[in-house]
Structure 1
Amino acid sequence: MGTVAGSSGEAGVKTGARAGAGAGVVAAGKGALAYGFAILIAAGALVADPGAPAARAASVCSGRPLRTVPFSTGEVRVYKGRDYACAVTVAKKPGKKRSMSISLQSRGGNPVLDRGQFTRQAGPVTVHALNRCVRATGSVSGTSVSTGWILC
């Protein structure tokens, strides 16, 4: 009789007289298969009902939402973490590519800019903002808005 150690480190699992490494792989494979099904079931629980209203997308910036400044073609969202500020410009009607930009500047520093042709958002851009004021300016299709100096 031989013993085979499974993938979870279990020693002493008794198998048949001719058991080899293959038996351990089968046992580990069943566990992995069960684990895979558990993941699929959990993922299925996260899929929204097609008839349910759309939820707001998770932010690409870390930190807490600090300020949202809407304008006719979109909005600028500013987030603040412990040491950093982050900002994005989000189009009001995502879809076709159009000119978008986001600029974030800490007082005394150079602005960080993301500009180009985007379908949904420009950014994120991040600056060091520990004990500093910041200013965010965003635009969508030529219409822009600025937060002015905030976090002062």
Structure 2
Amino acid sequence: MALALAVLTASGMLSLVSPGTAEAASAASACSGRKAKTLTFSTGVVRVYRRSGYVCAVTVPKRPGVRQWMSVSIRARGGRPVVDKGLFSKRAGPVTVHAGRRQVWIQGAVGRGSVSSGWIRC
């Protein structure tokens, strides 16, 4: 009886989570650290996190659940870009680079929409 009550309570709590909250939690769990930047564009958002000299990014679509072309990349100045691209339904990434104190260039895309940061310091 107690087990059945616990299962019903847990399923009720899960139904209270809105899709936007679940999407943000999914992106946050993919990268550790503090959120450093958010790059928005017409079809999605790139969330950038920083921790101990490492920079991590994920691209999240505005309409998750549908398989569509997505990409995310980070390039530390003087280094090569780290890229994740393909057909995804929830997110592209995470991708992580060690930037130290160097600037980074971040790019993300969902479908035909895209964003490019230029050289920035996170």
| Number of residue pairs the alignment of both structures matches | 112
CA displacement, residues 44-83 of structure 1 (integer Å, 9 cap, x when unaligned):
5696263x45234151101100000111100011111012
Shift in CA distance, 61/49, structure 1 to aligned 2, threshold 3 Å: closer
Given candidates 84, 107, 131, the residue that maps to 2:77 is 107
- Using the size of structure 2 for normalisation, the TM-score is 0.81
Structure with bigger helix share is: 2
Gap regions ≥5 residues in structure 1: 1-36
For residues 1-152 of structure 1, what are the structure 2 equivalents within 5 Å?
48=13, 50=15, 52=16, 54=18, 55=21, 56-58=24-26, 59=28, 60-151=30-121
Matches of 1:101 and 1:64 in 2, distance apart? 22
Matches of 1:145 and 1:85 in 2, distance apart? 17
Superposed CA RMSD in Å reads 2.3
Among all aligned residue pairs of Structure 1 and Structure 2, give the percentage whose two residues are the same amino acid. 50
Structure 1 residue 140, shift from structure 2 partner: 0.3
Structure with bigger strand share is: 2
**Which portions of structure 1, spanning 4 or more consecutive aligned residues, are displaced by more than 4 angstroms?**
44-47
